[in-house]
Amino acid sequence: MHGLVRRTADGQVIEREPHPGLADARRILVELAHCERGLLFEDKGLSVALHYRNAPGCADAVIEAGERLSQSTGLVLQLGDMVAELRTPGADKGAAVTAFLREAPFLGATPVFVGDDLTDEDGFSAANHLGGFGVLVGEPRPTEARYHLKDTEAVFRWLEGLSTPQSVVEVTASAG
């Protein structure tokens, strides 16, 4: 949930209160989803999203609706891979990484943040800032992550110690 919900080391769940503007955003995005076959509405509690992967021609309209709703409600517009999400303001994934590293048993640890979406950039940036690194999973793109893995299978192989991630510099050089 973009850092809006996290569990502490002792198991306590810390969750922000939903923003009051979510009700309006929810209603409008549900209406939009009903207008075009292929649009998918998702309610995550502290955010609402409209996915347009199955209706790519609607990208501009969905993004414009998200921008307008963000301005009128005070929600944060978070664009992702074929999705516009409006979320409760507050923490992001980077803030969650920073909070984890302030408590035992993570205090003094080296953060490693693995992600595949634009919403993971805050986590990559925080990991870098705190002396660790990020690993982008999926198609190479401009990123704060220092390393890259092709897919989730490559992540599993890396975690099992069977492979190493490629640096983003190497990915960029080999892609060119």
Query: Are residues 120 and 149 both part of a single domain?
Result: yes
HSE-up (13 A, CA, CB side) for residue 160:
7
Query: Are residues 151 and 119 both part of a single domain?
Result: yes
Count up the domains in the chain and report the number.
2
Whether 116 contacts 136, CB under 8 Å: yes
Residues 148-170 have pLDDT tens digits of: 999 999 999 888 887 676 666 45
Q: Give the per-residue pLDDT at 80.
A: 84
Instruction: Judge whether residue 69 has pLDDT over 80.
Output: yes
Structure tokens at 90: 């507050």
Query: Are residues 27 and 75 both part of a single domain?
Result: yes
Q: How many CB atoms lie within 10 A of CB 159?
A: 12
Stretch 71-79: mean pLDDT, rounded?
A: 94
Parent domain of 133: 108-175
Q: Give the per-residue pLDDT at 175.
A: 41
Residues 7-39 have pLDDT tens digits of: 888 888 888 889 999 999 999 999 999 999 999
What percentage of the chain exceeds 90 in pLDDT?
Answer: 66
Q: Answer with the one of 55, 87, 119 that is the final residue of a domain.
A: 87
